[in-house]
Amino acid sequence: MKGEVKLEDLEGIGPKTAEKLRSIGICSAKHLSLFNVDELLNLVDVDERTLRRALAHARSIFMPLRAIKALDNLAQKSLPQLTTGVKSIDLLLNGGLRPRAIYELCGQPGAGKTQLCLQLSVTIQLSANKGGIGGKCYFMDTEGTFSLSRVKVIAERFGLDSEYALSNIYVIDVINTDHLLQVITSDLVRAVEDGVKLVIVDSLMSRFRTEYAGRESLALRQSRLGYALDWLVRIARLYEVIVIVTTPVMEVPVAFVSINERLRPVGGTTLAHATTHRFFLTTRSERGVLRGTMTVLDSPSLPHGAIASYLITDKGIEDA
């Protein structure tokens, strides 16, 4: 029943109230459960008591209201893993990417962040016996980096028809931070309920850095960034999807260390606390071959400083 609950099935929600909620992009009872009452009161003209009743009913259906023993939780949860298409990276990840987590890929331009995202938009579509999850991808493009031609080549490499692969990738050009927040809270959830299992934001910090430049805007920037990340966490956990965000790096002036040791992810502690796993990507050219490394910066389950190697080729990200 959980996946079939309509807005009208919730206590206190009649046809008129349901229509008001749909007009602001809330498509189902499960979608509604992601919101808190204050958020809804700012978005729609509906009686507060009605909203509280509906939210309580929705949470009782879709969210755990009682704790269970960790052993029982372990027995119940057996989530799939997603291959990156690179054996060394999969090994670093203990088998692949897992749902309910936020993965951050940070690095300088050309490190392979977007290339890996494009590759994952294909591998998510593979069947379970090939390392995929058989799902779709939702790609939020803030810098115009999504490449149809690259996806076609990568799809052929993994044995998928290129048109089929592209038909399973939702792409949206994100214009500004208001647009990003609107997309995350409405259209993204609609797509997730339509079979999306992988969510990509490439690059997360792009719009925030340009719109909120200067120290005087830092507090507001971090507040809005935190809100966007909070929504990505809500969606990842409730719908059991994988979320990937890419971020640039900045150079911190520290004496007597290498350039890589002076580079730090942009986004501060707001981003650091919201992401589950953080990785630093670097590349170097050797005799015309672009070699990359992925290093664990922070993770609750992966060893700090662990490294995987890869190549960036015409076919995507491959084993070194």
- For residue 129, what is the DSSP state? G
DSSP secondary-structure letter at 295?
A: E
In whole angstroms, give the CA distance from residue 254 to residue 262: 6
pLDDT of residue 258 exceeding 60, the answer is no
- Read off the pLDDT of residues 275-307 as tens digits, 9 standing for 90 and up: 999 999 999 998 889 999 999 999 999 999 999
Cα angle for residues 9, 10, 14 (degrees, 5° grid): 75
The confidence score (pLDDT) of residue 72 equals 77
Q: What does the pLDDT read at residue 261?
A: 63
Cα atoms found within 13 Å of the Cα of residue 92, Cβ hemisphere only = 25
Q: Model confidence over 162-192: pLDDT tens digits?
A: 999 999 999 999 999 999 999 999 999 999 9
First to last CA, the chain: 47
pLDDT band at 250 (very low <50, low <70, confident <90, very high): confident
pLDDT one-digit tens code per residue, 86-97: 999 999 999 999
pLDDT band at 213 (very low <50, low <70, confident <90, very high): confident
Rounded Cα distance between 118 and 150, Å, is 7
Phi–psi pair at 106, nearest 5 degrees: -120, 155
Computed over every residue of the chain, the mean pLDDT equals: 93
**pLDDT higher at 262 or 232:** 232
In the predicted structure, residue 61 carries a pLDDT above the cut 60? yes
Q: Read off the pLDDT of each residue in 134-153 and give the average, rounded to a whole number.
A: 97
Give the domains, in start order, of the chain with CATH numbers.
2-62 (1.10.150.20), 87-319 (3.40.50.300)
